[in-house]
């Protein structure tokens, strides 16, 4: 899941790009075979038909299609390029490309480590939030029981109104703390869901 996060994915693409660049530079060492072809013709309304019996006083037309066919020129060539004189430059470019590739790999590894450290911190916070929430639930249960006990004592005349009010205040405070700790737990749980690639639900 961590590999799909943008901060890691961008570094991964950087590594892939540099791998292709290294391969491209290595390809500069290989001989290159090339082929070229050329076809052209020309036309002019001043040209005389070579079949005209009197070129000095031409009487025959020279159609465009005939001119293009008669004046057509074709050429083809092939060659082989062998990198001999630029060998050292190619080797230098390959070394530079490999250095850039290692740098991209280091950046990727660093991004993963930073992300793992961040995730570990959020996981620790989530564990602490879980403990706080469970403690708050227990506190609410105890405060609720104490409040009901104080109410009962006041009802039968063995407790005072002040004791009853203090018990209710403690119940209110513990309930507020429980609600607060619940939202903190939800917050860190959703952060972990995001980093793990899970759907974020509220």
Question: Looking at residue 156, which CATH number applies to its domain?
Answer: 1.20.1600.10
Is pLDDT at 202 greater than 60 in this prediction? no
Could you tell me if residue 79 is inside a domain? Answer: yes
Angle between helices 161-195 and 87-156 (to 10 degrees): 160
Q: Other C-beta atoms within 10 Å of 102: how many?
A: 11
How many structural domains compose the chain? 1
160 domain residue, yes or no: yes
The more confidently predicted of residues 21 and 68 is 21
Measured distance CA(111)–CA(102) in Å, rounded: 14
In a domain, 57, yes or no: no
Q: What is the gyration radius of the CA atoms in the chain, in angstroms?
A: 43
pLDDT digits (tens, 9 = 90+) for 96-151: 999 999 999 999 999 999 988 998 999 999 999 999 999 999 999 999 999 999 99
Q: Is the pTM of this model over 0.95?
A: no
Give the range among 43-47, 64-68, 118-122, 165-169 with minimum mean pLDDT. 43-47
Q: What is the pLDDT of residues 143-152, one digit of tens each?
A: 999 999 999 9
Taking alpha carbons only, the member of 173, 168, 179 closest to residue 145 is 168
The owner of tokens 């759907």 is 199
Note whether 178 and 139 are within 8 A (CB): yes
Q: List the single range of 28-32, 36-40, 81-85, 133-137 with lowest mean pLDDT.
A: 81-85
pLDDT on residue 175: 96
pLDDT value of residue 43: 65
Instruction: Provide the 8-state DSSP code for 164.
Output: H
Distances (CA, A) of 143 to 37, 147, 168, 173: 94, 6, 8, 9
Residue 162 in domain: yes
User: Could you give the CA distance from residue 161 to residue 158 in angstroms, rounded to a whole number?
Assistant: 10
Per-residue pLDDT band for 169 (boundaries 50, 70, 90) equals very high
Is 43 part of any domain? yes
Q: Measured in Å, how far apart are the chain's first and last C-alpha atoms?
A: 21
SS3 33: strand
Domain enclosing residue 122, as ranges: 2-47+67-195
C-alpha angle 139-142-148 in degrees, rounded to nearest 5: 135
Q: Is residue 95 in some structural domain?
A: yes
* 12 found inside a domain: yes
**What pLDDT is stored for residue 138 in this prediction?**
96
Model pLDDT, residue 65: 78
Q: Residue 147: which residues within 8 A CB-CB, separation 6 or more?
A: 164, 167, 168, 170, 171
Cα gap 25→89, rounded to integer Å: 10
- Report the pLDDT averaged over residues 18-36: 84
154, part of any domain: yes
Q: pLDDT averaged over the chain? A: 86
Adjacent-strand bridge partners of 76: 37
């Amino acid at each position: 899941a961590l590999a799909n996060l943008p901060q890691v994915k961008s570094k991964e693409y950087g590594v892939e790009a540099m791998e292709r660049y290294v391969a491209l530079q290595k390809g500069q060492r290989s001989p290159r075979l090339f082929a070229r072809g050329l076809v052209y013709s020309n036309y002019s309304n001043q040209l005389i038909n070579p079949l005209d019996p009197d070129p000095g006083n031409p009487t025959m037309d020279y159609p465009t299609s005939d001119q293009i066919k008669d004046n057509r020129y074709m050429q083809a060539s092939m060659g082989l390029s062998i990198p001999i004189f630029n060998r050292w430059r190619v080797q230098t470019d390959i070394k530079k490309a490999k250095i850039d590739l290692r740098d991209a790999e280091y950046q990727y590894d660093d991004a993963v480590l930073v992300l793992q450290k961040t995730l570990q911190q959020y996981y620790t916070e989530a564990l602490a939030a879980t403990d706080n929430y469970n403690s708050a639930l227990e506190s609410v249960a105890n405060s609720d029981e104490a409040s009901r006990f104080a109410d009962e004592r006041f009802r039968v005349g063995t407790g005072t109104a002040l004791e009853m009010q203090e018990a209710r205040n403690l119940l209110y405070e513990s309930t507020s703390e429980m609600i607060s700790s619940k939202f903190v737990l939800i917050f860190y749980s959703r952060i972990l869901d995001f980093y793990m690639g899970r759907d974020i639900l509220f």
